[in-house]
Amino acid sequence: MFEEIYRESRHRTVGITMGLSTEELARPVPACPEWTVHQLIAHLAGVAADFASGRVEGSPGEEWTARHVAEREGVPVLDLLEQWNASTELLDKIPGQIAMDAVTHEANLRAAVGRERLPDHPWQTTLTGIVTRYLPDLTVTTEFGVIGTGHVALEVDGYELWRAFFGRRSRKQMEAWHWSEPYPVEKVTFFPPRDTDLTE
């Protein structure tokens, strides 16, 4: 599953990136407020390079991701895409961590440059696993079905929950969802909630 998700996401991200202007590459990414589009691509190239070389100490922490960007400052985006491709070819197996990182950042990229939302298959497939593995307290009703058997019922747009799990929604946004009872929303997220709302 993760092999397919990663390689298809990389293919889509490369296709989008190759068509971007200099202005678009310099555009801030709202879901990654300290990065530009160019820096987001630098991170994706860096993740693949680190996993290919075994340089994964500190992942997925802020210092680890910041190093990807710093080491590739000023590198033309086409060179970054070539680095990403070369490193991917060295990977015998695609870890789930980098597959989820890639598809999350594809979603970030699409929102930043005004492209249509991420295709349904990768986020719906992984959301099912996220709820059953990480959110056992919840029974989640989404537009594509019911996931989980927990004692707390949540009715929510599936994409919103998926984005929230990876830290792309605020506490306020999550508290506004349709809960059957009060619930500590920080338990919903792998990464901490944003301080500010993010609407995509």
Whole-number pLDDT of residue 58? 85
> In sequence order, what are the residues at sequence separation of 6 or more whose Cβ sits closer than 8 angstroms to the Cβ of residue 136?
148, 150
Same domain, 8 and 78: yes
Same domain, 75 and 158: no
CA triplet 159, 163, 167: central angle to 5 degrees?
Answer: 165
Same domain, 141 and 104: no
Instruction: Give me the mean pLDDT over the 20-34 stretch.
Output: 97
Whole-number pLDDT of residue 3? 94
Whole-number pLDDT of residue 62? 87
What single letter denotes the amino acid at residue 187?
K
Same domain, 39 and 63: yes
Q: Which of 113, 131, 158 is the last residue of a domain?
A: 113
**Model pLDDT for residues 141-165, shown as the tens digit of each residue:** 999 999 999 999 999 999 999 999 9
**Model pLDDT for residues 57-75, shown as the tens digit of each residue:** 888 888 999 999 999 999 9
User: What is the Cα 179 distance to its own chain's centre?
Assistant: 24
**Model pLDDT for residues 80-133, shown as the tens digit of each residue:** 999 999 999 999 899 999 999 999 999 999 999 999 999 999 999 999 999 999
Output Rg (C-alpha) for the chain, integer angstroms.
17
Please count the structural domains in the chain: 2
- Asked if residues 118 and 110 have their Cβ atoms less than 8 Å apart, the reply is yes
Q: Where are the beta strands (DSSP E) in 96-188?
A: 138-142, 145-147, 152-155, 178-179
Same domain, 126 and 42: no
Q: Considering only CA atoms, which of 76, 121, 83 is closest in space to residue 99?
A: 121
**Model pLDDT for residues 173-192, shown as the tens digit of each residue:** 999 999 999 999 999 999 99
- Asked if residues 125 and 5 have their Cβ atoms less than 8 Å apart, the reply is yes
What CATH code is carried by the domain that includes residue 155? Answer: 3.30.1050
28-29/32-36 β-pairing:
antiparallel
Whole-number pLDDT of residue 112? 98
Structural domain of 134: 120-188
What single letter denotes the amino acid at residue 186?
E
Q: How far apart are the first and last CA of the chain?
A: 26
Same domain, 25 and 65: yes
Instruction: Give me the mean pLDDT over the 48-55 stretch.
Output: 94
Same domain, 88 and 182: no
User: What is the Cα 21 distance to its own chain's centre?
Assistant: 23
Same domain, 47 and 77: yes
Helix axes 158-165, 120-134, angle to 10 degrees: 70
